[in-house]
Structure 1
Amino acid sequence: MAKVKCEFFSEVLGISTSMTVLLPEVGKNRIGMAGAKKKETYPVLYLLHGLSDDDSTWARRTALERYVAELGIVVVMPNGYRGFYTNMQNGEKYFDYIANEVPSVAQHYFPISTARNETFVAGLSMGGYGAMKLALNFPERYCSAASFSGALDIESYLKEVSGDAAREKMNTFGTVSDFLGSENDLFSLAKKVSNEAEERPRLYQACGTEDFLYAHNQNFQTHIIEETNLDLTYDEGPGAHTWDYWDEQIQKALRFFEL
């Protein structure tokens, strides 16, 4: 794989920002890694980071490059800051940035397919929330989405946090009444997609049983099973909010995507 650090100006955020991109290589002479088949355009995985990370973290803390080397897929890892991939109540429009500007910039510079059946999104923690949010707001764009240790039950999160965390979440989502039924509410979005969408994304959800977000993930899984007819694959087992767990889960998600 070729790894590119793409630095660009975001018109939405009004700042210079970046994305880290993995691109397929066709070469056959590298020891220990095979190449991909040459194509005009490649499927794309938008891979989102967690609250304390940036666009470089997935490539630094997992063997992601090795996992995707033979799959012939472009992996786009944008910098999402601490914005929860959300148009904040008091702040920047991170959802407009991640949903529209990042794909537009990536498609401009890199050989990325725009076909729905070749477009995937995944993420961990805050990024797991962002991945589900993108797929459920735009089911016509994404064929599959995966969340690892995702912050999926934001309503409960808003009610539980206090201090600086509560102030940050208030700036992001507003009050619980602001949040419920909005483009940020995964539970409401899931029911809407289930009832109204012509195309529905396949969903993969994973959370470790020792994770502090485990109960929230159980709540989301129960909602999907009992209140929707969406196609959800759920995986749980021993694991905490750690990179050992996410390194394992990105491999499972790549198999789930059936690339």
Structure 2
Amino acid sequence: MKPFRFLLFLPFFLLAGFAYAGKIDTVNTRSAAMNKNIKAVVITPDSYSDKQSYPVFYLLHGFGGNYRDWATRAPQLAQAADRYGMIIVCPDGGIGSWYLDSPVDPAWKYETYVAKELVTWVDKNYRTIASRSGRAIAGLSMGGHGALYLAFRNQDVYGAAGSLSGGVDIRPFPQNWQLAQRLGTYASSPLNWEEHTVVNMLHLLTPQSLSLLIDCGTGDFFYDVNENLHQLLLKRNIPHDYITRPGVHNWDYWVNSIDFQLLFMDKFFKRSIKQ
């Protein structure tokens, strides 16, 4: 009888585990700058209603990925949206956009899309806290570069930013990840590379201008550039959280890291929204 009773109650416990997860939707957004529709995943908390407004956490995928990556690989996001009472938006950034407006290819305007058009669309279609105190952005690899790049350049839009294994200095990688297609070759267009790499944009920051969390595994090929960014931020007295631990450039690391990012962003929202 005991085994039978266990099997009888098992579905109840399974249902209870999912009863308080956020709702995951795939939506079509519009980029007028690129004249195309772009898909995104939007995760709303189970408590979502028209009677309150919610902070929004934008989460960017890496090179070769797409808008489905985070929701597929990190299923805890649905529970986190409900636990923290936040909306999570995972846009599609193309195979290798690097989340910038390309100075050599006018068809690629992903800074305009993510930092302006997408934010406007989300604020129009969801109950959001439509200010920098209610917006944060993070991403992995190419998306880690993108999150810091967009936040540094659009501090009126985002109040916090995070990077997981981010390509925060692209200059050591002139032959990789379609960067030359977005910026021109390093040999022919070195200024483009200097102006569009995160590590050269710290002059845009002042102490407390952004809440920052930077995370990279010690076995990651981006570890050295992240460590250099950390040291430069220290020299400029820019407060930031910096996490390193054993790990490489893979989803095992990022699925673990995203929990720290979510907690960090939740603390930012609670602190800034009260002010």
Name the residue aligned to 2:67: 55
- Whether the 8 Å contact between 1:50 and 1:124 is mirrored in structure 2 is yes
Q: Tell me the distance in 1 between the aligned counterparts of 2:263 and 2:38.
A: 31
Q: Tell me the distance in 2 between the aligned counterparts of 1:61 and 1:237.
A: 21
User: What is the one-letter code of the residue matched to 2:61?
Assistant: H
Instruction: Summarize the alignment of residues 157-196 of structure 1 with structure 2, pairs less than 5 Å apart.
Output: 157-158=173-174, 161=175, 165=176, 168-174=178-184, 175-180=189-194, 182=195, 184-194=196-206
- Whether the 8 Å contact between 1:48 and 1:80 is mirrored in structure 2 is yes
User: What is the one-letter code of the residue matched to 1:187?
Assistant: V
User: What is the one-letter code of the residue matched to 1:122?
Assistant: A
User: What is the one-letter code of the residue matched to 2:260?
Assistant: K
Instruction: Summarize the alignment of residues 25-64 of structure 1 with structure 2, pairs less than 5 Å apart.
Output: 25-26=46-47, 39-62=51-74, 63-64=76-77
Which consecutive segments of 4 or more residues in structure 1 shift more than 4 A?
Answer: 36-39
3-state SS of 1:220 partner: helix
Q: Tell me the distance in 2 between the aligned counterparts of 1:109 and 1:37.
A: 13
Q: Alignment RMSD, CA only?
A: 1.8
- Whether the 8 Å contact between 1:54 and 1:79 is mirrored in structure 2 is yes
3-state SS of 1:206 partner: strand
Name the residue aligned to 1:129: 145
Name the residue aligned to 2:264: 256
Name the residue aligned to 2:81: 68
3-state SS of 2:83 partner: coil
Name the residue aligned to 1:3: 24
Relative distance call for 1:132 and 1:67 in structure 2 (3 A) is same
1:214 aligns with 2:214: no
Choose 1 or 2 for highest CA Rg: 2
User: What is the one-letter code of the residue matched to 1:125?
Assistant: S
Shift of residue 207, structure 1, vs aligned partner: 0.4
User: What is the one-letter code of the residue matched to 2:160?
Assistant: S
- Whether the 8 Å contact between 2:45 and 2:78 is mirrored in structure 1 is no
Shift of residue 8, structure 1, vs aligned partner: 3.1
Name the residue aligned to 2:250: 242
* Stretches of structure 2 lacking an aligned partner (at least 5 in a row): 1-21, 270-275
What are the Cα deviations for residues 206-249 of structure 1, in whole angstroms up to 9, with x where unaligned?
000111111121121122112x2221111001111111111111
User: What is the one-letter code of the residue matched to 1:61?
Assistant: R
Name the residue aligned to 2:99: 85
* TM-score scaled by length of structure 2: 0.81
Alignment coverage as a number of residue pairs: 238
- Whether the 8 Å contact between 2:153 and 2:204 is mirrored in structure 1 is no
Q: Tell me the distance in 2 between the aligned counterparts of 1:232 and 1:18.
A: 32
* TM-score scaled by length of structure 1: 0.86
Name the residue aligned to 1:14: 35
User: What is the one-letter code of the residue matched to 2:54?
Assistant: Y
User: What is the one-letter code of the residue matched to 1:202?
Assistant: S
- Whether the 8 Å contact between 1:43 and 1:112 is mirrored in structure 2 is yes
User: What is the one-letter code of the residue matched to 1:60?
Assistant: T
- Whether the 8 Å contact between 1:205 and 1:234 is mirrored in structure 2 is yes
- Whether the 8 Å contact between 2:161 and 2:213 is mirrored in structure 1 is yes
Shift of residue 39, structure 1, vs aligned partner: 4.7
Q: Tell me the distance in 1 between the aligned counterparts of 2:101 and 2:82.
A: 34
Identity %: 28
What are the Cα deviations for residues 146-196 of structure 1, in whole angstroms up to 9, with x where unaligned?
1000000112223xx3xxx37x2122123222222x3x232232123238x
What are the Cα deviations for residues 113-154 of structure 1, in whole angstroms up to 9, with x where unaligned?
112221111100000011101111122322211100000011
Q: Tell me the distance in 1 between the aligned counterparts of 2:116 and 2:173.
A: 26
* Stretches of structure 1 lacking an aligned partner (at least 5 in a row): 27-35
